[in-house]
Structure 1
Amino acid sequence: MSLDVKNSKCVIVVNDDLPVGLTVNAASVVSLTLGRSVPELIGQDVKDADGAVHLGITLIPVPILKAPAEKVAEIHAAATEDPEVVVVGFSDLAQSCRTYDEYIERLGASESAALAYSSVGLFGPRKQLNKWTGSLALLR
């Protein structure tokens, strides 16, 4: 896959039924994994006028959008079918686990169709992501 950041889009969609704390958690977990999965999203470190180094931040905006749980699942399902899109799903199951070992164990015993999603992060062609997320409201 060719990663053209300037002609791509990155969005995070969260389940709008989540309380504030879980919403923030769902968005932050997905953003960390997107940053690891698409390192081209992150710019170089920058020095300020005093010479202090500030770690690179995202080169493009990353809007956080909200949608009902069914829409988040629909977007996740559609996006996973598109080989040009990087998809990071954060399931309710994952959000309920206290350790990564617990997550591994519980996910291994769960069928994909049974998973509900707290959030989904997407990176890919702008046109395709707009098709799936263009009508969604910003999280406020």
Structure 2
Amino acid sequence: MQNEAIAAAGAETPAEPERCVIVVDEALPPGKASNAAAVVAFTLGQRHQHLVGEPLRELDGTAHPGLIPIGIPVLKATAEQLSALRRKSLANCDVVDFPVQGQTTTDYAAFLGAVNALPGEALQYLAVGLVGPKKKVGKLVGGLSLFA
């Protein structure tokens, strides 16, 4: 399944149960790992709006924004595993990746330029987010541990 097809159908709820995971480079310190996971999660939420649950309501009616009801485990992998995971996942689910250049600057135009200057096979990743059929995603990330 291609990312474009999933993005176009982002508001539709799939018939098959889905799984959403984020895999982060295990070598990252906690602050950079949290940033990488947050960047990926933000984009996943935008691409898969159907994954956001209904608003939470307090007894007095005060509303809180809906959260993802299926959870998002944050797993860890080596840099090599992240690249392989991304490559294997492209045919099976929607993939949001965060190249290492994303944490080398706070200027998005510079980030775009840095990625644009490299061939795809030269890119390395800080994090990869996956959304897709529960069984396929489970198989792709099987054996990876929680990021701690």
The verdict on a shared fold, with TM-score over 0.5 as the criterion, is yes
Pairwise mapping of residues 1-140 of structure 1 onto structure 2 (< 5 A)? 1=6, 3-4=13-14, 7-82=17-92, 85-140=93-148
- Give the conservation status (yes or no) of the 8 Å contact 1:88–1:122: yes
Percent identical? 35
TM-aligned CA distance change 1:76 to 1:43, over 3 Å? same
- Give the conservation status (yes or no) of the 8 Å contact 2:16–2:133: no
Q: Secondary structure at the match of 2:19?
A: strand
Q: Secondary structure at the match of 2:60?
A: coil
Any unmatched runs of 5+ in structure 2? 1-5, 7-11
TM-aligned CA distance change 1:120 to 1:29, over 3 Å? same
Q: Secondary structure at the match of 1:43?
A: coil
* TM-score, length basis structure 1: 0.92
Any unmatched runs of 5+ in structure 1? none
Distance 1:5 1:37 in 2: 17
- Give the conservation status (yes or no) of the 8 Å contact 1:65–1:137: yes
Q: Secondary structure at the match of 2:140?
A: helix
Shift of 1:81: 2.8
In structure 2, what residue type is equivalent to 1:17? A
Shift of 1:3: 4.2
Distance 2:70 2:31 in 1: 25
TM-aligned CA distance change 1:5 to 1:62, over 3 Å? farther
